[in-house]
Structure 1
Amino acid sequence: MLIILAISASYFIFAVLLNSVGTVILQSINSFEVTKIQASTLEGYKDLSIAIVSFLIASFVPKIGYKMAIIIGLIIVGLLCLFTPWIASFWFIKVLFAGVGTAFALVKISVYAIIGQLSRTVKEHTSLMNIVEGIFMLGVLSGYWIFSVYINEDVSSLTWLNVYYLLAVLVMATIVAVIIAPVSTHADASEPLPETVDGFAAMLKLAWQPIVLVFVISIFLYVLIEQGIGTWLPTFNREVIGLPVSLSVQITSLFAVALAVGRLLAGAVLRYVHWYPFLNTCVILMASFMLLTLPLAQPLDSSDSTTLSQLPVSAMLLPFIGLFMAPIYPVINSAMLSALPKNKHASMTGLIVVFSALGGTTGSIITGAVFEHFGGQNAFYLLVLPIVTILFTLALFRKSILNLTEGTLNAA
């Protein structure tokens, strides 16, 4: 239990930091007077650092130890949080997100490997994965409200940066939790670790298997959709619906609520039903929900007097698409990892993080560019295309899982 609490606390703090990018984009547009396209690069600094670091160090993490990797990651973000309010510049916000991405690469690889150690069956793995990812979404939810407390309607004010002092304190508390938890420092002793160079080559070879290619395309598309919505929803609320800045951030927390509830519920439901028909239903509901709710998003006559109790239906509905998309990412990750021997989990997690990061950056930049030139509604309508595409990649992935043999995996 202490181990689960420790990895969950680590995931929680990174959830707050990573998913604050949408809020920080909105505040950067206001406070630092940057364009939407310039602000969208923050997603790239975050995600590309995750991708590059994961690709380079996935095979090293088991050697330095999972606990030590998590602690190093937390120390990095703790120091950056302390410096951010002091420097108070857009260029250092870029540095902050690059550092957060670098640290998260260490933490995610370690957490996924630890989940593999704690799980004895596929169902246990799927359930624990959804619980941990659900707690991640609770961190996302908390982040919106934490940041909103420090935001005021003076768009030029930089007082919102003081939130990073609070986050630095939370990081220090999380470091203590990880230190005292009995986290296994290395991979399962029954599964020999590859040499460093061989491990890196194994990750590259793993990426070229047909099943893995279909899998990484699926997670790329999913994260593209999630980040396209999550990153730009505060700006959508502000500029399309016309909500006040702080309320635009607070209402986005409903998206995190929906994702958290969806993943926690899926962790229970998937003990009894097969993941493939369950995910197909989720994808179909996602597309339908998007097409039905976007036409309702119309600008308010006045946003100055709008309060949380006076929110229009359109602002309330759209975030709940997260309820249907929530199970997709952890479930397909679990299906892939469960098919692999445990000594390949670090390498596979490296690939997961890389393509998740690339999908997030792509989704944010494309959505931001369309938002800038064609408006927020058209930017969100565009996301229906990758939603529909996921139906086809899931079918291919399921077929590959059925045809996969243990001998094929061990030859990777």
Structure 2
Amino acid sequence: MSQTSAHTLPAATYGVVTALVFAMFFMFGMTTDAVGEIISIARGELGITNTEAAAFHWATMIAIALSGVTLGFLSDSIGRKRTIVIGLALYGVASALFFAGSSFQLYTVLLFISGFAIGIFKTAGLAVIGDISSSTDDHTKKMNAVEGFFGVGAIAGPALVVYLDHSGASWRWLYIVAAALCAVMIVAMSRATFPPTVQSEKSEAGLGHTLRLMRSPYAFGFSMMIALYVASEVAIFVWLPTFLDGFEASGMTAFFAAYAVMIFFVLRAAGRFLGVFVLNLLDWKIVLVLFTGLIFACFAGSMVGGQVWAVYLLPLSGLFMSMIYPTLNSKAISCYPKVDHGAVAGVTLFFTAAAAALAPLAMAFASDRFGGGDLKVGFGLATGFALLLFAGTLFNLIRDPAGKALREANESEY
């Protein structure tokens, strides 16, 4: 083996490091997935247009994509802990500066900086998950758990923004909370013992190496599937409220319509913790086929039944979406030596953020160009994304293109 095995360290060390990674994902999930609520408040507060307000989403996602692909290798080069501390420090400072002014330009710049910081510490955090895993399957289970905490943050963040708004307080306090969490985590990180960073005489950490990895079949193939998944997912929390706008109902249907996105987030978070259990029972390739098939069925049913069916089916898809992203992400990373885990995480993060930024725009364009503004057309495009994702998992089950690489990694890297 080319590295010191992570599981030679005391088990208690893993608990501390794992808890810190969970807290880190919770924290940035709390802010990034609150953007919809923030936009709805800031648009009136700042007197900006919808197009301008959309920058609150674009700035973060574009910065994450750029940071992931250009600096993903950083944790492979200088170590996981140092990289995470750098990212958290940058994120904390950017968050604290939200009270430095009240202009649209300032907020956009700070959101770009915070997105760039996310790309730094998230790629390192993803690499840590590989370092503390005992096998490729254990890697997948841990990845589902850490994304579960992201999902909890995605519920807490919007809820906190709504509470602040109803209390007459500024939504910017959300970022002060995030800055405080960053400070606590940096102190805890300084005291924690991380698994030793993988070292190899053949290490080529750098931007050029990352770009070469992007062209390799495993990183590219899994990243394309991740992009299709993200395109389907963001369709719901970005455009479902608008798709259901004007929908009239009573009773339980009215409740689902009012809280559709929150129900989606709750089911997605719960499903990620459930995913750890499901993966103990079934092979991951089979689970991916089953769950992506159900996701496609939810989207297709919404196209057939319109708003009446969509109000139930699209939030329900969150339960089946829950384990797709962490499973695909962990398998993409596990195909490579641990010396490259940071760089590969940067590649998958680039595709994640790019899809999150471009897919809602494509849906809006399709709806305006071909549907006169009717978002059913945009959701038709999202249904196509879901179908392609299902087809990709079928191919993966039948051909198992990464099987050999994962088996070799189990022997040499874990």
Q: Alignment partner of 1:150: what SS?
A: helix
Establish whether residue 363 from structure 1 lines up as the match of residue 388 from structure 2. no
- 2: CA distance between counterparts of 1:83 and 1:342? 36
- 2: CA distance between counterparts of 1:177 and 1:249? 40
Establish whether residue 179 from structure 1 lines up as the match of residue 198 from structure 2. no
User: How far does the alpha carbon of each residue in 1:114-173 deviate from its partner, in whole angstroms, 9 at most, with x for none?
Assistant: 1111111122111111111111111111112111102249xxx88333333333223322
- 1: CA distance between counterparts of 2:202 and 2:60? 29
C-alpha contact (below 8 Å) 2:31/2:175 kept by paired residues: no
Q: Of residues 282, 286, 289 in structure 1, which corresponds to 2:298?
A: 289
User: Is the alpha carbon distance of 1:60 and 1:166 closer, same or farther for their aligned partners in structure 2, counting shifts above 3 Å?
Assistant: closer
- 1: CA distance between counterparts of 2:258 and 2:338? 40
Q: Which runs of 5+ in 1 are unaligned?
A: 299-312
Establish whether residue 211 from structure 1 lines up as the match of residue 210 from structure 2. no
- 1: CA distance between counterparts of 2:408 and 2:76? 23
In the alignment, residue 382 of structure 1 is paired with which amino acid? L
How many residue pairs get aligned? The number is 383
C-alpha contact (below 8 Å) 1:58/1:347 kept by paired residues: yes
Deviation of the 1:46 alpha carbon: 1.1
Question: How well do the aligned residues superpose, as a CA RMSD in angstroms?
Answer: 2.9
Q: Alignment partner of 2:172: what SS?
A: helix
In the alignment, residue 387 of structure 1 is paired with which amino acid? A
Residue number in structure 1 paired with 2:26: 12
Matches within 5 A, 1:339-378: 339-370=335-366, 374-378=373-377
Q: Which runs of 5+ in 2 are unaligned?
A: 1-14, 250-255
User: Is the alpha carbon distance of 1:193 and 1:146 closer, same or farther for their aligned partners in structure 2, counting shifts above 3 Å?
Assistant: farther
C-alpha contact (below 8 Å) 1:6/1:181 kept by paired residues: no
Residue number in structure 1 paired with 2:279: 270
Matches within 5 A, 1:6-85: 6-85=20-99
Establish whether residue 202 from structure 1 lines up as the match of residue 212 from structure 2. no
Matches within 5 A, 1:325-404: 325-370=321-366, 374-398=373-397, 399=399, 400-402=401-403, 404=405
C-alpha contact (below 8 Å) 2:236/2:314 kept by paired residues: no
- 1: CA distance between counterparts of 2:180 and 2:241? 26
User: Is the alpha carbon distance of 1:329 and 1:182 closer, same or farther for their aligned partners in structure 2, counting shifts above 3 Å?
Assistant: same
C-alpha contact (below 8 Å) 2:155/2:262 kept by paired residues: yes
Deviation of the 1:105 alpha carbon: 1.0
Deviation of the 1:361 alpha carbon: 0.6
User: How far does the alpha carbon of each residue in 1:162-198 deviate from its partner, in whole angstroms, 9 at most, with x for none?
Assistant: 33333322332233332332223x5224x446244xx
Q: Alignment partner of 1:194: what SS?
A: coil
Q: Of residues 111, 114, 118 in structure 2, which corresponds to 1:97?
A: 111
User: Is the alpha carbon distance of 1:74 and 1:248 closer, same or farther for their aligned partners in structure 2, counting shifts above 3 Å?
Assistant: farther
TM-score by length of structure 1 reads 0.83
- Report sequence identity in percent: 25
- 1: CA distance between counterparts of 2:57 and 2:48? 14
Deviation of the 1:249 alpha carbon: 8.9
Deviation of the 1:69 alpha carbon: 1.6
Q: Alignment partner of 2:402: what SS?
A: helix
TM-score by length of structure 2 reads 0.83
- 2: CA distance between counterparts of 1:343 and 1:389? 32
C-alpha contact (below 8 Å) 1:88/1:158 kept by paired residues: no
- 2: CA distance between counterparts of 1:317 and 1:280? 18
User: Is the alpha carbon distance of 1:18 and 1:193 closer, same or farther for their aligned partners in structure 2, counting shifts above 3 Å?
Assistant: farther
Establish whether residue 170 from structure 1 lines up as the match of residue 171 from structure 2. no
- 2: CA distance between counterparts of 1:27 and 1:12? 23
- 2: CA distance between counterparts of 1:366 and 1:35? 19
User: How far does the alpha carbon of each residue in 1:320-345 deviate from its partner, in whole angstroms, 9 at most, with x for none?
Assistant: 21111111111112222222221121
Q: Alignment partner of 2:379: what SS?
A: helix
